[in-house]
């Protein structure tokens, strides 16, 4: 949905928007007013003057940010994201409090498994830590009652032609470390009796979700960064600029994702990939805007100090308007929503908008100042012009 929205947005901005501006040109001229935002030349000069300090700040903040991102706690149980006053949540809470039953596992085993084997397997499972009960057709009717006399209306509830269903009660919460360890132990016992048997249910599905998403999200993040790197490489025709811009962007994302660790906040498992893509996409716009202007001014003959100052001064206002708009559109939802997952994601996005704005305004110009010579020598079209600019006159 986000990718589709980006494509549609770009098409509208390069087709509908220019047409609207032309149609409403007179109205735009009549309703123009003085610039409400004062000149940002002084803040720009201050940042450029103290660019070395911002580089040091970048390094100092990076260490705790990486630590925070690695150690931020996440949750996979979607029930935890729902308001506590919902009927389903209240019912689950009562089951846990009054019956010591937080989760129920279901076993599907071969319908032809002998009652003796079934009872032996369930006895083993009953000894696993956290198992509160086990139930099957054989445990319900007992060994003294022949299966043949049990009505089909009863047996078909727990048994079909190919499978028989068993229930295992657990004291542990879904997605907890104890629950996942219990599932591993139960699966091991199950496979020793029936190699085709299956352990299913909310807890087992959530464990699979953890295993799958941990791998998939890492791949998605790597692919996203690689795609951004290639786009910047082609657009700016530079080897060094993609590295600098990606470093700045990932720094902003790392800081944002590291904050929950220090605020003792647990975030939903999808937060990393959502923020990693949305904040990445927003921040790269800010970074390319400033970098493009820097290249233009540098190619026009300005020295690095003047080129970076002009780039920062002219782009700062656009970056602030965009970032604050992004902040305003997400912050309110983060405060208002009673669904924790929505609230957490919107809070992360709104905070990410501010962090990205500050990072691009303060850190990126400092990077451009520090690596100016490297940029010139690794960017197509810049080295030649730089040599012409400083070429000494011949002495007769």
- For residues 280 and 374, membership in a common domain is answered with yes
Instruction: Evaluate whether residue 333 is within a structural domain.
Output: yes
Full domain range(s) for residue 322: 40-78+217-380
- My answer on whether 115 and 53 are in the same domain is no
Q: Has residue 93 been placed in a domain?
A: no
The mean pLDDT of 21-44, rounded to a whole number, is 87
Q: Do 348 and 257 share a structural domain? A: yes
Distance CA 271, CA 189 (A): 35
| Cβ atoms of 333 and 313 closer than 8 Å | no
**Same-domain check for residues 184 and 258:** no
Residue 69 pLDDT: 92
Check whether residue 222 and residue 363 sit in a common domain.
yes
Question: Could you give the CA distance from residue 176 to residue 194 in angstroms, rounded to a whole number?
Answer: 26
* Range 21-46 average pLDDT: 87
CATH of the domain at 129: 3.30.70.60
Handedness of CA 332, 336, 342, 345 (dihedral sign): positive
What pLDDT shows up at residue 67? 95
- Find all residues with CB under 8 Å of 258, minimum gap 6, and list them: 64, 65, 66, 67, 68, 69, 72
Regarding whether 112 and 57 lie in a shared domain, the answer is no
Q: Would residue 388 count as lying in a domain? A: no
pLDDT at 36 over 80: no
Q: Is residue 5 part of a domain?
A: no
Tell me, what's the pLDDT at 28? Answer: 92
Domain boundary among 200, 229, 246: 200
| Mean pLDDT across the chain | 88
Give me the sign of the Cα torsion angle 304, 307, 308, 309.
positive
Please write the tens of the pLDDT for every residue from 88-132.
778 877 877 777 667 889 999 998 888 889 889 999 999 999 998
Average pLDDT on 50-74 reads: 94
Question: What pLDDT sits at residue 190?
Answer: 94
Q: Tell which of 172, 200, 228 closes a domain.
A: 200
Decide if 328 is inside a domain.
yes
- How far is residue 357 from each of residues 225, 228, 331, measured CA to CA in Å? 19, 18, 15
Other CB atoms closer than 10 Å to residue 221's CB: what's the count? 17
Q: 150 and 44 in one domain?
A: no
Q: Answer with the one of 200, 232, 261 that is the final residue of a domain.
A: 200
Q: Do 369 and 224 share a domain, yes or no?
A: yes
Q: pLDDT at residue 390 above 50?
A: no
Q: Are 101 and 169 in contact (CB under 8 A)?
A: yes
Q: Are residues 322 and 365 in the same domain?
A: yes
- The answer as to whether 177 is a domain residue is yes
193-209 residue pLDDT tens: 999 999 998 899 888 88
Predicted confidence (pLDDT) per residue in 238-283, tens digit: 999 999 999 999 999 999 999 999 999 989 888 888 888 889 888 9
Same domain, 52 and 129: no
76 or 99, higher pLDDT: 76
* Number of domains into which the chain is organized: 2
Same-domain pairing of 288 and 158: no
Do residues 334 and 287 both lie within one domain? yes
- 91 occurs within a structural domain: no
Average pLDDT over residues 336-348: 89
387 within some domain:
no
pLDDT digits 0-9 by tens, 295-321: 999 998 899 999 999 999 999 999 999
CATH number for 327: 1.20.1640.10
pLDDT at 159: 86
Share above pLDDT 90 across residues of the chain, in percent, rounded to a whole number: 52
């Amino acid at each position: 949905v986000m990718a589709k929205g980006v494509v549609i947005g770009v098409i509208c901005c390069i087709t509908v928007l220019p047409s609207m501006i032309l149609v409403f040109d007179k109205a735009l001229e009549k309703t123009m007013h003085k610039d409400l935002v004062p000149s940002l030349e002084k803040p720009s000069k201050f940042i450029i003057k103290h660019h070395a300090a911002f580089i040091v700040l970048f390094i100092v903040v990076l260490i705790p940010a990486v630590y925070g991102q690695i150690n931020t706690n996440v949750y996979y149980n979607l029930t935890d994201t729902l308001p506590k006053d919902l009927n389903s949540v209240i019912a689950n809470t009562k089951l846990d409090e009054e019956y010591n039953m937080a989760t129920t596992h279901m076993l599907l085993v071969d319908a032809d498994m002998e009652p003796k084997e079934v009872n032996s397997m369930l006895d083993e499972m009953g000894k696993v830590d956290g198992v509160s009960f086990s139930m099957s057709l054989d445990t319900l009717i007992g060994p003294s009652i022949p299966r043949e006399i049990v009505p089909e209306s009863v047996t078909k509830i727990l048994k079909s032609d190919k499978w028989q269903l068993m229930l295992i009660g657990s004291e542990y919460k879904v997605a907890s470390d104890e629950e996942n360890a219990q599932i591993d132990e139960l699966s091991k016992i199950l496979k020793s009796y029936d190699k085709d048997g299956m352990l299913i249910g909310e807890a087992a599905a959530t464990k699979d979700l953890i295993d799958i998403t941990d791998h998939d999200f890492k791949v998605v993040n790597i692919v996203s960064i690689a795609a951004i790197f290639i786009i910047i490489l082609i657009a700016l025709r530079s080897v060094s600029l993609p590295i600098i811009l990606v470093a700045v962007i990932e720094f902003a994302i790392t800081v944002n994702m590291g904050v929950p660790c220090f605020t003792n906040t647990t975030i939903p498992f999808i937060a990393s990939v959502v923020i990693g893509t949305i904040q990445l996409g927003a921040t790269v716009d800010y970074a390319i805007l400033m970098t493009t202007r820097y290249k233009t001014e540098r190619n026009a003959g300005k020295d690095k100090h003047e080129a970076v100052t002009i780039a920062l001064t002219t782009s700062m206002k656009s970056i602030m308007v965009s970032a604050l708009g992004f902040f305003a559109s997400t912050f309110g939802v983060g405060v208002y929503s009673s669904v924790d997952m929505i609230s957490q994601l919107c809070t992360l996005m709104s905070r990410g908008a501010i962090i990205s704005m500050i990072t691009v305004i303060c850190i990126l110009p400092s990077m451009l100042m520090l690596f100016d010579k490297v940029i010139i020598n690794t960017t197509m079209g810049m080295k030649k012009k730089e040599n012409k600019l400083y070429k000494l006159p011949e002495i007769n």
